[in-house]
Amino acid sequence: MRLTARGDGDESEVIERGFLAHADREGFALQRVLFEHGPVNVKPVIYGYVRALPELPVHSVQQLKQELSDFAQREGFTLAEVFVEHRWLHSVAWDALVMSCDRHGVRDVVVPDYRHLHSTAALSRVMQAVIEEMMSGRVWFARAHESVPSFHPGSVAE
């Protein structure tokens, strides 16, 4: 556990005694309490998602993970995990991503480009909307120039 103490040492001692007493009551052996004095910058967590495209060489997955990591660092995120869909037309990693976002309150996901959501631009837009709605967050594209193309359905015959 990490605490940030703002104030003098007396405040830290009071907090430490409180933690030690609580741990003792709950049957835990707390060895020590460490304090960081001053502001602590915690970067928001982001997950990555890579879908194995038919034309994607196996060794490229590591390069894609590095792209996602570079994006996260550049944009001020901590990349916690990259979910990789290894089998074409399966959604095991996708389902794990959605569950993990829900379980851990992660609100941001990064993909290399829109084709990792779906190879068809319109369906990729749907996948983006679904995950953004489910996690109340945002899907980011590491290659911004390859984000989901705009989709404007034609009007129904009048």
pLDDT in tens, the chain (158 residues): 444 545 555 666 767 777 777 777 777 776 666 666 666 668 999 999 998 766 677 778 889 999 999 999 999 999 999 999 877 667 889 889 889 988 999 999 999 998 888 878 898 889 899 888 888 899 999 987 655 555 444 433 43
Reported as half-sphere exposure (CB side, CA atoms, 13 A), residue 141 has a value of 15
Residue type at 16 in one-letter notation? E
Alpha carbon distance 68, 63 (integer Å): 9
Which residue, 60, 63, 69, 58, is CA-closest to 140? 69
pTM for this predicted structure? 0.65
DSSP 43-61: PPEEEEEEE--TT--TTHH
